[in-house]
Amino acid sequence: MSKFDEKEIRHKLEIISQIKPTSQSTGRALEKVRRALISEEERDSNTNLWSKFKKSRVTRLAAAAVIIMAIGILIFPHRPAERTKPPEVLEVTKSPADLLTVASLSIAYRRGGIVEVERQCDEAIEKLGRRETKVSIQELFTEFNGT
């Protein structure tokens, strides 16, 4: 094979760029796609009938659930005044560093398996929060100069 330089490569690509399909071929391609799209639409419209039916059943069930809940609320009204407030508990929140030690993650695993480990990792990331990845020159000068 001859040694290629980029000029050669561009020349080859230019040759390829001049290839054109015949109009019959393009016509055939477009017609096949049209037919494929139309037949897919017909197939989907049959399944759509089914999904509409399912949806309407689901809608009916959902409506029934709402009615049952509404009845429940009427029979057992919520009386906030009578509820006793739970004692206030001072929650000591853990830092991301605390959440991500071997001990903490091991305890998380024993408590809730790998799902709990992943949840704790997510919690730590949440606490680390979003941070700037860029600092402007102006900000740096301001820091140095104290103004």
Where does this chain bind other proteins (CB under 8 A)?
1-6, 9-10, 12-22, 25-26, 28-30, 32-34, 36-38, 40-41, 44-45, 96-98, 100-107, 109-111, 113-114, 117-118, 121-122, 124-125, 128-131, 133
User: Which tokens sit at 74?
Assistant: 């009427």
Residue 52: enclosing H or E segment and its boundaries?
A: helix 23-75
Instruction: Tell me whether residue 52 or residue 60 sits nearer to other proteins (CB atom).
Output: 52
CA nearest to 99, candidates 70, 127, 65? 127
Please identify which residue in the block is written with the tokens 């019959």: 24
Give min distance, CB of 70 to other proteins, in A. 29
Distance from C-alpha of 48 to C-alpha of 35, rounded to nearest angstrom: 20
Instruction: Tell me whether residue 66 or residue 101 sits nearer to other proteins (CB atom).
Output: 101
Give min distance, CB of 61 to other proteins, in A. 20
Give min distance, CB of 127 to other proteins, in A. 10
Please identify which residue in the block is written with the tokens 């309407």: 56
